[in-house]
Structures are given as structure tokens and as C-alpha cells.
């Protein structure tokens, strides 16, 4: 017998402008698929939102953006949690599961620099980013630039450039697309020099493992091919255990033989790098785990942990 859709779905999200847009995207798909369901968006402030001026590493790493949503799921205050995939850590509570995935409009980084390209920025130009991955990759391509830490939502980071507080910022292209801010993009930063964060731009949906009706509903609106890609990336992250303080990038795309994964792992300076591309069979989590174990062993041997 087919699983009946739930009569009510409470959609948990962070309150930032981008997070709310992403929650609306989930809401729209659910409404189209289940027009009679009562759908509510529930904004929940995360620790990362409350302490927006402090470096992420000082307040608990990237898990600070999803912990409050996971607690709300466990307390039955919401039925699904909408995340940016790149905020997910390997420490997902046993009672919860990430099962829904929306493919990104783009997974690339972009430069916002008041009309300049990366190679037009002068030596010593201040580039706003707190991402250790972006800092390491910039150091390899443009070592004369000065990276300065920035926090805040997408719009506030764009404003830092407009106001002259920094000369440029690096952001996710998908975020700018969703917020209608693409006019500020001066350059798309592509591979091989710039490898995005694992799952960059992907919208992920987390649910309670025992909530069958909600699981069925989310499965109905999820992108199947993106799910294959994201589950391989999740498997790798669960083995690696790396948080946002390790320069790690993975650019994944569908391939005739499964999933092509283009990987970048380095030390904080960008001087020591593992760079490799592999094609894994879809759903072959064992191959993903084996590769991740190799990477972890190499990283530990070189002080990358």
C-alpha cells in the first residue's frame, strides 16, 4: 500500500535571507506535489546566526549552523530541516537522516570585486573569506593577495565590497543566483584552480528516521541523481571527519559510469596538496569509503587533521 502524505509538514530553516529562500524552494516543491498538505516554514536561529561576528572555528565549527535545527527535529518541533549541504557534518544524530537533495544551479565559487577579475587585483588587495579551502587555493593561484576573515550573510558580504571595506569577496555562485544578486559577479572561479566545497550549492533535507510519511514525501521531491552524488560525498565525509578547518574541495558531477569526483586536499598554506579525480559507481559507498580512508591516512601523515 502506498504511503499517504502527511497532512502537515513543518519546514525548519535558519532565518538568513538565503536559508529562507531555500526553504521556500522546498515549500514550493512540496506544495506542487501535495497541494492539500498544511505547510509551514519555521525559522530557527542557530548558534552561528547568534554569534555572527566570531570566527566559525571559535564557536564550534560548521556544525553550529545545523545543531539547533537538529534539536528541533528531535523535539518534534519541526518535521524537516532544510540545510545547505556544505554545513552538514559527519556527526548526524542516530535518530536523524539526510534523505532529500536538490541539485545546485552552480557549484562554483565566484569573485565579487567591483568590476575586477582575479588577475586584475593588485598585490596586497584584501579578499574577504574565512574559508580555509578558499584561502589555500588563492595562495596557490595569487599568492600576493591578502585574505581577511569575514562573516555575515551573502548580502552583507557583497556590501563590504561596495563600501570599500575589502577589495573583493569570494562567494558561492548558487547563493547569489537564488538571491537575485548575479549582477555583482565579476568572475566565476572554476576548476582546476578552484575546487568547491563538497556539496556546495546543494540543498539538503534532514528528517527523523522513524517518520515514514515525511520520508516518503521528501523522497518524492528529491533529485534522484543529486542524491546519488551527495550520498557518496556524505560517505566520504563520514570517514574523513574533516570539519571546515581543513582545506577540502570536491567537485562532483554525473558520469556515464557513475559519479566523477574531482578532489582537492591540502594543508592550510596550500603548499602540500593531494589532487585527484576518480569515477565511482553510483551508490558505491564502499569505494568512497576506501578513497576517504586513503586521504585520511595521507592527511594524518602530513599533519592535516
C-alpha cell of 92? 548526524
Of 240, 21, 56, which is closest to residue 131 (Cα–Cα)? 56
- Contact status, residue 154 vs residue 14, Cβ threshold 8 Å: no
Q: Which residue has the cell 565566484?
A: 110
- Contact status, residue 221 vs residue 29, Cβ threshold 8 Å: yes
**Residue environment code for 19-31, b if the CB has 16+ CB neighbours within 10 A, otherwise e:** bbbbbeebbebbe
Phi then psi dihedrals of residue 185, to 5 deg: -75, 125
- Contact status, residue 13 vs residue 19, Cβ threshold 8 Å: yes
Give the span between the Cα atoms of 225 and 239, in whole angstroms: 22
Which residue numbers are catalytic? 87
Give the span between the Cα atoms of 89 and 242, in whole angstroms: 8
Phi then psi dihedrals of residue 44, to 5 deg: -135, 125
Amino acid at each position: 500500500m502506498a504511503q499517504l502524505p502527511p497532512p502537515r509538514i513543518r519546514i525548519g530553516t535558519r532565518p538568513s535571507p538565503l536559508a529562507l529562500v531555500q526553504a521556500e524552494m522546498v515549500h514550493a516543491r512540496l506544495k506542487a506535489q501535495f497541494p492539500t498538505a498544511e505547510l509551514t516554514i519555521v525559522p530557527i536561529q542557530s548558534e552561528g546566526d547568534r554569534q555572527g561576528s566570531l570566527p566559525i572555528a571559535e564557536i564550534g565549527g560548521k556544525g553550529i549552523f545545523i545543531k539547533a535545527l537538529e534539536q528541533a527535529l528531535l523535539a518534534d518541533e519541526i518535521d524537516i530541516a532544510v540545510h545547505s549541504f556544505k554545513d552538514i557534518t559527519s556527526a548526524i544524530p542516530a535518530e536523524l537522516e539526510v534523505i532529500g537533495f536538490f541539485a545546485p544551479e552552480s557549484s562554483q565559487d565566484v569573485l565579487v570585486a567591483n568590476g575586477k577579475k582575479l588577475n586584475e587585483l593588485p598585490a596586497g588587495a584584501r579578499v574577504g573569506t574565512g574559508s580555509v579551502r578558499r584561502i589555500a587555493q588563492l595562495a596557490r593561484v595569487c599568492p600576493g593577495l591578502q585574505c581577511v576573515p569575514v562573516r555575515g550573510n551573502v548580502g552583507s558580504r557583497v556590501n563590504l565590497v561596495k563600501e570599500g571595506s575589502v577589495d573583493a569577496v569570494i562567494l558561492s555562485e548558487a547563493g547569489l543566483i537564488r538571491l537575485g544578486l548575479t549582477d555583482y559577479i565579476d568572475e566565476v572561479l572554476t576548476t582546476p584552480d578552484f575546487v568547491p566545497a563538497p556539496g556546495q550549492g546543494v540543498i539538503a533535507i534532514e528528517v527523523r528516521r522513524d517518520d515514514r510519511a515525511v520520508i516518503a514525501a521528501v523522497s518524492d521531491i528529491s533529485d534522484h541523481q543529486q542524491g546519488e552524488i551527495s550520498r557518496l560525498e556524505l560517505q566520504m565525509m563520514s570517514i574523513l571527519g574533516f570539519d571546515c578547518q581543513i582545506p577540502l574541495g570536491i567537485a562532483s558531477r554525473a558520469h556515464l559510469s557513475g559519479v566523477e569526483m574531482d578532489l582537492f586536499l591540502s594543508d592550510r598554506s596550500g603548499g602540500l596538496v593531494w589532487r585527484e579525480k576518480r569515477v565511482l559507481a553510483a551508490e558505491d559507498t564502499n569505494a568512497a569509503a576506501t578513497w576517504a580512508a586513503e586521504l585520511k591516512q595521507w592527511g594524518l601523515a602530513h599533519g592535516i587533521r
